[in-house]
Amino acid sequence: MAIRTGVIGVGNLGQHHARVYHDLKESDLVGVVDSDPARAKEIAKKQKTQAFDNLEQLLAAGVEALSVVVPTPLHHEVTTRCLEAGVHVLLEKPIASTLDQADALTALAASKNRVLQIGHIERFNQAVQALHKLKTTPKFIEAHRLGPFVARNLDTGVVLDLMIHDIDIILNLVESKVTAVEGVGIPVLSPTEDIANARIKFESGCIANLTASRISPDKMRKIRVFQEDAYLSIDYVEQGVTFFEKKKGKAPLMGGMQFGDVYITREKMPIEKGDSLQLEIQDFLKCVATGQPPRVTGQHGREALALALEITAQIRKK
C-alpha cells in the first residue's frame, strides 16, 4: 500500500520533494503546507494534491511520513511536532541549529520508534555510490563546492548551507576521529560568511581541505580523494568518477602513462546516472515501510553539524 505523505515548506527545494512524492507509486501525496498560502496552493495544484493552512491540518489528515523543508531555525520546532504526532520525518540538512536540538530530535525519534532521516542528498549521488564500491584509504581529500549567489538560506552561513554536504561525505569516507580543525571565511553579500575554507585532520593521518562559496560565477561540485597508489576524482554534478591508479610493470599499448618501472592508468567508471532526490526519498519510504534504519541517520546529521559548527565558530572568532 502507498504511504500517505506530505511536505512542509514548498519553496525552492520543497517543491521538488512534492514532485517526487507525487510521482512515486509507493507514495500517496496527501498535501503540502507553506508559510505562503498562495505558494502552497500553486504547488498543490501542480502536483494534484491539497494545500493545508497549517501543519496541524496536514497531521490531522492522516499523513504517515513527510519531508520538513523549512528554514534551519525552524527545524527543531517543526520536526518535534511531527515526531510527537507519530509521523516519520525526512528532515533537510542541517539537522538543527544546535547540538542540543539535534540530540533532542534523535532521542525523540527513537522513543517514538519513528524514522528520522537527514537530507544529506549527496549520499545518494550515483557517483558517491560508485566510490563506495572501491576500496578507499584516504590520505588527502580536497573538496570544492562553488556556486552563484542565490537570495535564500541567508539565515545560515555557507558552511551550514553548502560545505556541510562535503563534511558529511568526508566523515563517511574517512571513518576516523577528527583531531584538529581550522576554518577561515568572509562575508561578501550577506551578513554571514559567503566563502569559507576548512582544513580537517583525522586520527588516521588523513587531511581534508574543503572550500565552499556561494558567490562564484560558475557552479562546481567536485571532490578528489588521494590514497597511496590511487587518485579518484568525483564530479557530483556530472555524476562521474575518474580513477587513476599506479601499477608496477610496463604500461599496456592502449593506455597508461609510463614512469620508469611503474605506470599510471586512467579509467572512467561506468555509472548509471539517477535523480538523487528521488533515490533519497525512495530510501526514506523504504525505511518507513520496513523499519530498517536510514542511510543518513540523525546521528550522522549530528556529527556533520558538530563539525560544521566548529568551523563556523572559528570563522566568526577570526
Which region holds residue 86: left if phi is over 0, alpha if psi is between -120 and 50, else beta?
A: left
Is the pLDDT at 111 greater than 80? The verdict is: yes
- The predicted pLDDT at position 137 comes to 87
Question: What is the C-alpha to C-alpha distance for residues 199 and 183, in angstroms, rounded to an integer?
Answer: 7
* pLDDT score recorded for residue 196: 97
Per the structure block, which three cell numbers stand in for 32?
503540502
Q: What's the pLDDT at 290?
A: 96
pLDDT by residue (tens digit) across 122-131?
999 999 988 8
pLDDT single digits (tens) 56-100: 999 999 999 999 999 999 999 999 999 999 999 999 999 999 999
pLDDT for the residue numbered 255: 66
End-to-end CA distance of the chain: 54
Q: Where in the chain is the domain with CATH 3.40.50.720?
A: 3-120+277-297
Class of domain 123-274+307-317: alpha beta
User: What average pLDDT does this structure show over 278-289?
Assistant: 98
What gap in Å lies between CA 67 and CA 195, rounded to an integer? Answer: 29
- In this prediction, residue 253 carries a pLDDT of 64
Res 318: pLDDT: 80
Mean pLDDT of the chain: 93
Domain 3-120+277-297, CATH among 1.20.1260.10, 3.90.110.10, 1.10.580.10, 3.40.50.720:
3.40.50.720
Name the residue with higher pLDDT: 262 or 197. Answer: 197
Residues 177-187 have a mean pLDDT of 96
Q: Where in the chain is the domain with CATH 3.30.360.10?
A: 123-274+307-317
- pLDDT tens digits, residue range 233-248? 999 999 999 988 888 7
